[in-house]
Amino acid sequence: MTFAVIYILAAVLFMLLLITLGFKPKFISRITGTILLFVAVCGMGVYGYGYYVLYGGTLRTVVRTLFSVFCMFLGRNEISAISAVPLLATDGMQILIYAIHLLALYCTASAVLVGIGSNMIRTLNLLLVHRGDLNLVYGVNADTVDFAEQLVKENVTVMVDAGGGEAFASQVMHMECLMLNDDAAKGPAPSLLRKLGIRPGKRHFYFYCLSADNEKNMRYAAALRDILQARGIEPSQTTLTVLTNDAAVGETLQASEECYGYGSVLAVNRPELIARMLTTYYPPYKSMLFDTETGRATEDFECIVIGFGATGQAVLRSLLMNAQFAGSEFKATVVAMKYTELSGPFFSRYPALEEKYKIEFIDDNARSVSFYNRLNECCRRLNYVAVCTGSPKENAEITRDLTAFLSSRGCSFPVVQCSVQGISKLDEATGLPQISSLFNVDVLHAGRMDAMAKVLNHQYHLSEGRTVDEDWADCDYFSRISCRASADFLDVFLTASGATREQAMDGSWQPSAEVMENLGEMEHKRWCAFHYCMGFRPMPEDVFDDRAMQYKKQLAAGEKPLRITKDMSAKMHACLVDWDELDALAEREEKITGTKKDYKAMDLDNVRMIPHMLKEVSHE
């Protein structure tokens, strides 16, 4: 019987050691901590009792007890010293005492195994990062750890702790990621590149600066750029995604003829990231009806944006850019208390939006009687509601009330909450929110986003005989943003004409001349909305005439002439006119330059490129 008990105890301890190797370190630390406390109490009780019987209540008893308990965790025992005590000399007590010692040894072994395991995993990961493409994520927090878990499925991923990420160390290790928090990684220093095997060659390096501190992100991206240049890394090897206060700084980080930089840059602030997620997961065209025989919408797009802080402003722009359909007018109602106190910079930066689109602003609360009276009148015309108050709690309350009200009126269009936590929509069946995390590869992976944008950009330069990547390398930052926006709109053209991606790729998508004309008009409307949302204005005739004069003078002087229709510094574009006015503009420009222009054909070409873009991306 005694042998059986000892055998069972040994088996239990062996299983505990296996658990140590097989489970997450965080889970093991909880088990070990509980056992350690139990063993310490039992050891103090056993040895304290034994020495009390032998030596009485003396200082020797106290010191000897502490020493014996300490020895338990070092693999030694002092059992012989108390074996003379009658109660502790019985078989049952001896088994219990040895079991306590074994548990103490388990605690020590567990700590050693976890330490060895961590170092081993770290060493293996350092070897792995020298092979294949690499993801480096700067900033360790709950959002970025979830994001890294998505990235690690494709490439080896390294995380750099910008501060405060220690709590996620065990989780990162269990994901088979490498987490660095040394000074060289945080700097960053040139030694970081050597440690990670970042050197000239064919490997591609994806850098994500996503800490909660946007200023830190910018400093890290700039410092990393400098040591990449010193290391001789080609811009074509690098892609950067950076979370920043001002998305326009992306232009300063992207490589150009004048300066070294990253091969591809995606710079976003949180409000714009939220807005992009919104129209990616809940695209406006899915709430619309189309006549597929003509390719035109059968209704206007009408939406409500609740809240007009930074997120509400970004959401309005994103909806405007992605809800431009032939045969449809964009209409938006913005509901926000004291919106005029928040919107000065917005209207200054995007001066043409109020003039060109039907955007009504209401100084009201989205829970007021007056708002619900208005909602009752227009709810059957609505296609979309975005709730962006800035408070997740207020968003949730407003969304639940709105969803219940609209459901009672038979309306089923999306009511989506937008906050720093991500976007969410109430599930109609369960009533629970369907939450999409803010950090997602669908909206932060520039490589995926650029696949079709590259092909689209290439079609503008076919006569130059260069490759897709060569054309993309010469594409300026603003033009890349424009190509990405155009590629994002691809599914709208297919849906409006009643086709699928599969039909476009297998050659069965053959839109009629009427449908193609309407899709071209739709692309032009989208293009205009994009430029208005980037702060552009139509070019006045006198400005056009002045630029035409400059063009002639530069040409006569043998200089490279300016582009008459586009003034980037003043953010003016002559093509910001209706579809029907494009031919007249082309003729006017042709009389000055002598070069044939067909602006409608450029919009139509973007549509005709869809099958080719899909095929190219499917081959990657």
Domains and CATH numbers, the chain: 2-116 (no CATH), 132-268 (3.40.50.720), 274-288+297-438 (3.40.50), 489-618 (no CATH)
Nearest one of 305, 307, 327, 306 to 316, comparing CA atoms: 305
Percent of the chain with pLDDT over 90: 54
Of the pLDDT bands very low, low, confident and very high (cuts 50, 70, 90), residue 277 is very high
Q: CA-CA distance, 386 to 375, in Å (whole number)? A: 14
Position 1 scores a pLDDT of 40
Across the chain, mean pLDDT equals 87
- List Cα–Cα distances, 259 to 235, 252, 376, 377, 468, in angstroms: 11, 9, 56, 56, 21
Average pLDDT over residues 260-286: 93
Kindly report the number of other CB atoms within 10 A of residue 435's CB atom: 12
Average pLDDT over residues 347-367: 93
Q: Are 490 and 452 in contact (CB under 8 A)?
A: yes
pLDDT, one tens digit per residue, over 54-99 is 888 888 888 888 888 888 877 677 888 888 888 888 888 888 888 8
pLDDT, one tens digit per residue, over 436-489 is 788 888 888 766 668 888 888 888 777 777 888 888 888 889 999 999 999 899
Q: Are 237 and 199 in contact (CB under 8 A)?
A: no
Kindly report the number of other CB atoms within 10 A of residue 599's CB atom: 20
pLDDT, one tens digit per residue, over 237-258 is 999 999 998 877 888 999 988 8
Q: Are 355 and 275 in contact (CB under 8 A)?
A: no
Residue 291's DSSP bridge partners are 296
Of the pLDDT bands very low, low, confident and very high (cuts 50, 70, 90), residue 370 is very high
Q: Are 270 and 352 in contact (CB under 8 A)?
A: no
Kindly tell me if the per-residue pLDDT of 223 is higher than 50: yes
